[in-house]
Amino acid sequence: MSDRNRWRTALRAGALAGVLVLAGCSGSTEDVRITLCKDMVLARLNPPSVQWTAVTTAPGDDLAVGLRFAVGGRDGRATCRYRYDAVDDTALTLADPLSAYSTSPYRMTLDGRAITNPQLAETIKQAMLKQGRAFLDRASEGIGRAADEIRSQLEGGR
């Protein structure tokens, strides 16, 4: 194979790698406020597994994200409250009403008990660290798949 064709193959493989990395980094389409609230529950309880049974959002002066879950044979409830954060309505807030609210909660209740500072701040920190680790894991998997694809493209061209 000529150097020119090898470079074309490498460029195609690189483009494919970029797509695979982005695909590996994509998360769910769940709103970030709901995901954070779930991760905060997991940070507080540290259960081996949890089953989410209901998720509700109640926009108003603030946003209440309500969660119901089952863990260890018992039912639980949590609520995370987010402040209204929009200056005025935009196309984004009209299309996605939850985007008008802060992405970090100012209050949390877990099974009827208020989680206050400094525990609230520590809970948010632990949840965000978990999200960061999950993102890095997905990116690493995507990069590994992309590297394998590039390797197979280059070796297949020989």
Q: From first to last of the 158 residues of the chain, give the pLDDT tens digit.
A: 655 555 455 445 444 444 434 444 445 689 999 999 999 999 999 999 999 999 999 999 999 999 999 998 999 999 999 999 887 778 878 888 999 999 999 999 999 999 999 999 999 999 999 999 888 988 888 898 988 888 888 887 66
Give the contacts of 89 (CB within 8 A, at least 6 positions apart). Answer: 100
List of residues 6+ apart from 80 with CB closer than 8 A: 33, 36, 37, 40, 64, 65, 67, 105, 107, 108
To the question of pTM greater than 0.75 for the whole model, the response is no
Burial class (CB in 10 A: 0-12, 13-18, 19+), 126: middle
Burial of 35 (0-12, 13-18, 19+ CB in 10 A): middle
